[in-house]
Amino acid sequence: MSKLPVSPLAPAAFPDMPPIDGVRLATFEAGIRYKKRADLMLAELAAGSRVAGVFTRSLCPSAPVDWCRKILPGGLARAVVCNAGNANAFTGRAGDTAAELTARVIGESLGVPTESVFLASTGVIGETLPTAALEAALPKLAKALVDSRSSNWRAAADAIRTTDTFAKGATATARIDGVEVRINGIAKGSGMIAPDMATMLGFAFTDADLPQSVLQALLADSVVKSFNSITVDSDTSTSDTVLLFATGARALSTPVDDAGDPRLSDFKSALDAVMLDLAHQIVRDGEGATKFVTVTVSGAESDDAARRIALAIGNSPLVKTALAASDANWGRLVMAIGKAGEKADRDRLSIWIGDEQCAANGILCEQYSEARATEHLKQDEVSLRCDVGVGQGQATIWTCDLTHGYIDINAGYRS
């Protein structure tokens, strides 16, 4: 497949990401699937680093997901390795062997326990990972470790891409009890993106000194509001992984041992900002996407019900193709709401496209202007809003349009 053009929704530039004390980075070209580009990424973590993780709910998880789930209860991490081009999923015992080999070789190369090496793979499902090429490349990857300055974060983000058209990174600073800490994150994802994550990987790193129990609670909460609130095509992958590492380089005078500690307020906001930024970038890189779409549902029976209704809208091919055509066919929103399986009062339903109200109390608004609604849909950032009239629940999700480009990419390329 020829190189894809950069998404028209891409950020203007990769962010300037500061070093994180206790993190070193490396990339290497192993030739697992791609030629003339790095396809391996390694992050080495200082001794004592803690880790939290959230993984796919697919019933066909990849070998790296199984490996991470097995070692996560240990709470400590010394490295994370990611390969692009091969998902190492649905590969039987050979997949487990490849995962164990990767962790062992990196562990030996760095002088750290095998069970402290976390793994992620992304790419084609069902193809055996070429262990000979991998085993030869991994020691060279470890020898390539450098500091975590901004250009090296960019290289790491590039190395984990598959059909992504741009590297994805985000950064923020926060204060915990007066101590300034940093958070950097990189991610990949473009297609097979749906709630419960998808074929997306996210790695976040902080120099904050926080225990695993706190990290896990913060990450789980943040993922619900970010990676689990996006959809490109409703397909959930086998390899979804989000990992949060804390090196502890910025020590606190008094330890934090509860995720509800008010001293974490600023850190929570910063972590949420990084995760949401990365999630939005994945939607902006949706395969063939030309529009970034915000869907907000209010008046639902609960927040969870609102989220499910919003996702029914965001996943509807009829809604998404109408968005691609700038067609203000708001009846398709009614259809999606009705099929969501959640309570909605047809006779109190209200719908907006941008600021233009299309329907109120279950019927077309007299003042509705399809021309104004269409003009909004011609923009590259679109908003849809619905009130279903049964309660106080509300939620927002993010999606993109569905174009011929999505078909061209997925019909012309095995990923």
Tell me which residues are annotated as active site. 199
Residue with tokens 């077309």: 364
What does the alpha-carbon distance between residue 272 and residue 260 come to, in Å, rounded to a whole number? Answer: 15
Q: Which two tokens stand for residue 237?
A: 């992958």
What does the alpha-carbon distance between residue 78 and residue 162 come to, in Å, rounded to a whole number? Answer: 25
What does the alpha-carbon distance between residue 397 and residue 395 come to, in Å, rounded to a whole number? Answer: 7
What does the alpha-carbon distance between residue 244 and residue 261 come to, in Å, rounded to a whole number? Answer: 19
- Contact residues for 48 (Cβ-Cβ < 8 A; gap 6+): 76, 247, 248
- Contact residues for 21 (Cβ-Cβ < 8 A; gap 6+): 46, 207, 247, 249, 250
What does the alpha-carbon distance between residue 344 and residue 378 come to, in Å, rounded to a whole number? Answer: 29
295 DSSP β-pair partners:
384, 397
Please say whether the beta carbons of 192 and 163 come within 8 A: no
Tell me the pairing of strands 168-176 and 179-188: antiparallel
> Which one-letter amino acid corresponds to residue 84?
A
What does the alpha-carbon distance between residue 316 and residue 211 come to, in Å, rounded to a whole number? Answer: 41
Q: Which of 180, 41, 186 is nearest to 118 (CA)?
A: 41
